[in-house]
Amino acid sequence: MNSWFHTLVASTLLGVALFAVPVWSAQQPTAKQLSVNQLAAKPDVFIGKVTVVGRVVAVTPGKGFTLIDSANCSTCTTECLTDKKTRKIPFLWGGAAPVVKGVVQVQGTLAKTSRGFAFTAENVTRQ
């Protein structure tokens, strides 16, 4: 599991609010839709505006939600949640909570912080 995921989860659980300051990158096109696994494998490459598709595995209303790769965990059983090899990405989101086990497309901004990475969702749509 990625260390930046642990950092975000630990910060959220401790009540530390993370606010991502948008970092715009000329290297990263905004039109490409990424899977959770693609983004988690090389987050440095995708700093800035990003679109990610994944399956919702956890929701904290008013704070955010966590996605896993929708292709690799299509049945979304508990094994995906507890398997240490399954990549999970938390998203900061204050809007209406997406449905657990649903597949969503998230448009937002990935920023590098002193503690790792923070992904602030700007738009969440059901797929």
Q: What DSSP character marks residue 59?
A: E
The rounded percent of the chain whose pLDDT value lies above 90 is 56
Exposed/middle/buried for 114, CB within 10 Å: 0-12, 13-18, 19+?
exposed
Round the average pLDDT of the chain to a whole number and report it. 78
pLDDT, tens only, 13-67: 333 333 333 343 344 444 579 999 999 999 999 999 999 999 998 999 999 999 9
d(CA 63, CA 24): 23
The answer on pLDDT for 105 being more than 50 is: yes
| Helix %, strand %, coil % of the chain (to 5) | 20, 40, 40
Q: Which two tokens stand for residue 94?
A: 């204050």
Residue-range definition of the domain harbouring residue 88: 3-126
* Stretch 72-87: mean pLDDT: 72
Domain count, the chain: 1
* Stretch 107-120: mean pLDDT: 95
Is the entire prediction scored with pTM above 0.95? Answer: no
Looking up residue 70, the CATH number of its domain turns out to be: 2.40.50.140
Q: Which candidate, 24, 88, 19, places its Cα nearest to that of 57? A: 88
